[in-house]
Amino acid sequence: MTNEDDRTLAAALAEARAAGRACALATIVATRGSTPRKVGARMVVDPAVGLVGTVGGGCGEAEVIESARRVLETGTPERVRVDLTEDFTSWSPAVCGGVMDVFVEPVDP
Q: Tens digits of per-residue pLDDT, 24-61?
A: 999 999 999 989 899 999 999 999 999 999 998 888 89
User: What pLDDT, on a 0 to 100 scale, did the predictor assign at position 78?
Assistant: 98
Q: What is the pTM of this model?
A: 0.88
pLDDT tens digits along 71-82: 999 999 999 999
What span, in angstroms and rounded, lies between the C-alpha atoms of 48 and 92?
30
What span, in angstroms and rounded, lies between the C-alpha atoms of 14 and 27?
17
Q: Is the pLDDT of residue 15 over 70?
A: yes
